[in-house]
Structure 1
Amino acid sequence: MQDYKWLYEYCLNRFGSAAALEARLPVPKTPAALRDISADRYLSMLALRVFRAGLKHSLVDAKWPAFEEVFFGFDPEKVVLMGAEHLERLMQDERIIRHLGKLKSVPRNAQMILDVAREQGSFGAFIADWPVDDIVGLWQYLAKHGNQLGGLSAPRFLRMIGKDTFIPTDDMVAALNAQKIIDKVPTSQRDRALVQAAFNQWHAESGRPLCQLSTMLAFTVNH
């Protein structure tokens, strides 16, 4: 694999200046900022990620105020009490997206947030304290203990809330293939560990967060 110096110089040549490159790179939230996010906002973003999967984002976003209303502002203590009959009634509400599987995921993910809070003090602290040099472990935790958070949903949720992570998009996977790190979408623990190790090396060389390295790597794929 190429080192960070090559990655930076490639992106610099593509955009023409350091300022132009930096303007295109995401900035993760600090651990303190992640701790400050309330449980209801974490649940809202988890639900938003689940509903966006496979659907046009603008359609979901336009309906989100109604979702906030029917799910009690995504207060986990209230949402977790929503039973099957309540969810069936929501299937008749034309203001929201009526997908029973996705609707069922909301109280299940509320339960995960409450379980984590009991063990860690708060869900925000849990997210903030998870080490980014094992961010794939956090993906696995969310997929295992949450609902409908497999595939790219966990890393995309983390990017939405500002937790530092890379995301194996099509461009990033193509770039990793070109670097001979992996040859397909990293779904196995082995392939994810290989990608994590590569990003850890680039991070050690540059001090840059994973989200910036991920974006820069995607820039190396020609369109």
Structure 2
Amino acid sequence: MTAFSAIEQSARERLGGGDALESRLIRPEPPESLAMIGDDRYLSVMCRRIFRAGLTHRLVDARWPAFEIAFDDFDPAAVAALDDDDLKRLATDETLIRHRRKIFAVRNNAVAMQAIIAEFGSFGFWLAEWPEDEIVDLWHELRQRFTQLGGRSGPAFLRMAGKDTFMLTDWVVKAMAQWQAYIGKSHTRNAHAEIQALFNGWQAESDRPLCQISQILAFSID
């Protein structure tokens, strides 16, 4: 396995030194903080990620205050209680983003979140308890339980929510290949398991969170 120290050194050199690198790195929320975040905030972040997919983030973020009003501040019980007529009306609301499937996904995901809340007490507790060394399994769990959280949307939601995860962006995949750490398909379940093991090894070596490891990989190449 490629030593992560070499990858990190390359990132430092490309960005102009260790301080420059550190200033670019994000920091995940600790489990105790994740457990304290309200379910409504998780539903809001999840839905914002879904609407961001394929659209300019700035556009979605500018409309988000209107979404908060339209969806009762994303209270899961209130959103789950919306009927089809409510959703059809919202899908034509010019203050929102008129994407019918994504509008309906908000209710679907509120219902799915309620099931987790009923079983674990809160969505945040469920998220906080999931071990980072099995984070790809959480990606697949999100894809199975929720609507429109497949592909990169699940990991992107986790990153937005503060849960530690790596992300398989084009730059990260390219860097793994360039450093001869992993070459091949990166979207299958078996590939995810292999890449998880790779990241776990790099985490043990560097003592960095997964999110920083994937950032450093992206910064390490031209």
Q: TM-score range by the shorter chain?
A: over 0.9
Distance 1:104 1:128 in 2: 27
In structure 2, give the amino acid aligned to 1:87: L
Give CA deviations for 1:34-86 in whole Å, capped at 9, x if unaligned. Answer: 01110000000000000000011111111111100110000000000112111
1:9 matched residue in structure 2: 9
- Say if 1:105 and 1:147, in contact at 8 Å, map to a contact too: yes
Cα separation, partners in 2 of 1:58 and 1:185, compared to 1, 3 Å: farther
**Residues 113, 123 of structure 2: 8 Å contact kept:** yes
What is the distance in 2 between the residues matched to 1:152 and 1:89? 29
Counterpart AA for 1:165? T
What CA deviation, in whole Å up to 9, does each residue of 1:83-113 have, x standing for no partner?
2111111122110001110001101111111
2:208 aligned partner, one-letter code: R
Task: Tell me which residue corresponds to 1:161.
Answer: 161
Structure 1 residue 193: Cα displacement: 0.7
What is the CA distance between 1:123 and its match in structure 2? 0.4
Aligned partners of 2:182, 2:9: CA distance in 1, in Å?
A: 23
1:105 alignment partner in structure 2: 105
Structure 1 length as normaliser, TM-score?
Answer: 0.96
Alignment-derived partner of residue 221 in structure 1:
221
How many Å separate the matches in 2 of 1:174 and 1:118? 41
CA RMSD of aligned residues (A): 1.1
What CA distance in whole angstroms lies between the structure 1 residues aligned with 2:194 and 2:180? 10
Contact 2:15 2:21 in 1 (8 A): yes
Give the Cα separation in 2 of the matches to 1:46 and 1:184.
30
Q: Check if 1:92 corresponds to 2:92.
A: yes
TM-score, structure 2 as length reference: 0.97
Cα contact 2:11–2:221 (8 A) shared by 1: no
Q: Deviation string for 1:137-190 (max 9, x for gaps)?
A: 000000000000001000000000110000111100111222334435521111
Equivalent position SS for 1:23: helix
Give the Å deviation of 1:220: 1.8
Q: Which residue does the alignment assign to 1:116? A: 116
Higher relative contact order, structure no. (Cα contacts within 8 Å, ≥ 6 residues apart): 2
User: Number of residues paired by the alignment?
Assistant: 222
Which of structure 1's runs of 4+ aligned residues deviate more than 6 A?
none
Structure 2's unaligned 5+ residue stretches are none
- Which ranges in structure 1 are unaligned for 5 or more consecutive residues? none
Separation in 2, partners of 1:185, 1:164: 23
Asked if the contact 1:173/1:185 (under 8 Å) is kept, the reply is: no
Contact 1:181 1:194 (8 Å CA) reproduced? no
Distance 1:5 1:37 in 2: 35
